[in-house]
């Protein structure tokens, strides 16, 4: 018989570090264009697969000497190689048991979400965008931190996800109580090079009677900052991009900033078009991750490790030396 435990054991066998299961009712209240129940209306369960990002992949950025590890093995490899293999493994088990498996890979969104025309009255614009952090919460795998990065009890912010939507009815995992991992220390806010995380302004949604909140992140600042950081934290950044990023950090969202960004191809252009990211894109179809998630991940996991909140324990603390910063 196909039980939740059988699926979880098989998912781990297939390569997932983390597995959680949610029921589709938990998506009640989701915006139409982000409601996965429209992908498979008969679905009963969603299965979340989590893949750790090794702490060592932040080491080279922490030391300022090797920046390629995180984007290549921490993002591209998991998104496009490792997670798809595990997804297929779980898909095989479900479909060999007579159930259907919709395999939703991280980078599937690159085809463009919500850009198509609805095919039926009242239907969403395809492709439906599956909000991975909310889906991971719905699968009982942890909680969304103030940083808007998902936190698990095993690795804190250090993992990536993929999901399977299926008509197999499986026992759902309990939801985590908000504040179990994230204590609102706001180190993510103070350590973000682009000031992308407001300290107070929140986004809040209801899930099964709980209020789930995270910071109302400035997505443009984050998408440029994640890949390119700022001149102080990017040894590869050409001056013209440094100037653009400085303006992005200084200007509030609005038409003036949008106008300013046009010369760089938008915030994504500041992320994607630097020589470093262009090389990464050609090789891994992924930009750089020069920031090394200085606030939302590094500061966060160091804090959670210090508190002993994570089950993945290390023999030494992550930060060994005074952090480097370029004098610009
Ligand atoms: S650094 Fe981590 S624990 Fe602290 S507020 Fe941000 S997300 Fe929460």
- Provide DSSP, 21-63: EEEGGGGTT--GGG-GGGT-TT--EEEEEEEE--THHHHHHHH
- Closest Cα to atom 3 of ligand 1: 182
When the pLDDT of each residue in the chain is averaged and rounded to a whole number, the result is 96
pLDDT tens digit sequence for 286-300: 999 999 999 999 999
Centroid of ligand 1 to alpha carbon of 297 (angstroms):
8
Could you tell me if the CB of 183 is within 6 A of ligand 1? yes
208: its two tokens: 């099964």
Q: 138 Cβ partners below 8 Å, 6+ apart?
A: 22, 26, 27, 46, 48, 175, 207
Whether 113 shows a pLDDT value over 90: the answer reads no
Q: How is the chain split into domains, by residue range?
A: 4-172
pLDDT band, residue 144 (cuts 50/70/90):
very high
- The CATH code of the domain at 4-172 is 3.40.109
| pLDDT tens string 305-319 | 999 999 999 999 999
- Rg, Å, the chain Cα set: 20
Whole-number Å distance, alpha carbon 136 to ligand 1 midpoint, is 17
Q: Global pTM?
A: 0.96
Locate 221 and state its tokens. 């600042």
Give the model's pLDDT for residue 44.
98
Q: Provide the pLDDT confidence category of residue 187 given band limits of 50, 70 and 90.
A: very high
The answer to whether the CB of 94 is under 6 A from ligand 1 is no
Is the CB–ligand 1 distance for residue 145 below 6 Å? yes
Q: From the CB of 146, is ligand 1 less than 6 Å away? A: yes
Residue 93 has pLDDT above 90, yes or no: yes
Mean pLDDT of 100-104: 98
Give the whole-angstrom CA distance, residue 110 versus residue 82: 18
The answer to whether residue 96 scores a pLDDT higher than 90 is yes
Q: State the pLDDT at residue 109.
A: 80
Residue 150: pLDDT over 90:
yes
Best mutation site among 149, 156, 186 for ligand 1 pocket (most ligand atoms within 8 Å of CB): 186
Residue 111 has pLDDT above 90, yes or no: no
- What integer pLDDT is reported at residue 163 of this predicted model? 98
Q: Quick check: CB of 185 below 6 Å from ligand 1?
A: yes
Atom of ligand 1 nearest to the CA of 301: 2
- Residue 10: pLDDT over 90: yes
Examine the pLDDT at 28 and tell me if it is beyond 90: yes
């Amino acid at each position: 018989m196909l039980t939740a435990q059988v699926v979880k054991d098989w998912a781990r066998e297939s390569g997932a570090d983390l597995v959680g299961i949610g029921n589709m009712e938990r998506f009640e209240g989701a915006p139409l264009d982000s409601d996965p129940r429209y992908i498979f209306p008969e679905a009963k369960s969603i299965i979340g697969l989590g893949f750790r990002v090794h702490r060592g992949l932040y080491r080279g950025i922490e030391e300022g000497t090797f920046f390629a590890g995180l984007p290549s093995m921490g993002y591209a490899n998991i998104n496009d190689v490792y997670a798809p293999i595990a997804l297929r493994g779980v898909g095989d088990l479900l479909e060999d048991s007579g159930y259907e498996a919709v395999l939703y890979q991280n980078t599937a969104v690159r085809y463009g979400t919500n850009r198509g025309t609805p095919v039926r009255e009242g239907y969403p614009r395809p492709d439906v965008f599956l909000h991975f952090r909310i889906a991971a919460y719905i699968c009982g795998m942890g909680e969304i931190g103030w940083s808007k990065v998902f936190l698990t009890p095993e690795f804190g912010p250090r993992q990536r996800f993929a999901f399977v939507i299926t008509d197999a009815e499986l026992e759902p995992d309990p939801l985590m109580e908000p504040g179990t991992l994230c204590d609102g220390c706001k180190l993510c806010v103070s350590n973000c090079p682009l000031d992308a995380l407001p300290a107070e302004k929140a986004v809040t949604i209801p899930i099964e009677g709980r209020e789930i909140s995270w910071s109302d992140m400035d997505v443009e600042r984050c998408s440029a900052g994640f890949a390119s950081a700022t001149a102080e934290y990017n040894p590869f950044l050409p001056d013209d991009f440094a100037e653009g990023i400085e303006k992005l950090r200084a200007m509030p969202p609005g038409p003036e900033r949008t106008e300013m960004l046009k010369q760089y191809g938008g915030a994504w252009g500041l992320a994607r078009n630097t020589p470093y990211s262009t090389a990464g894109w050609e090789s891994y179809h992924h930009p750089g991750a020069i920031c090394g998630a200085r606030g939302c991940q590094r500061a966060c996991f160091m804090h959670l490790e210090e508190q002993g909140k994570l089950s993945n324990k290390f023999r030494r603390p992550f930060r060994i030396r005074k952090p480097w910063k370029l004098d610009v």
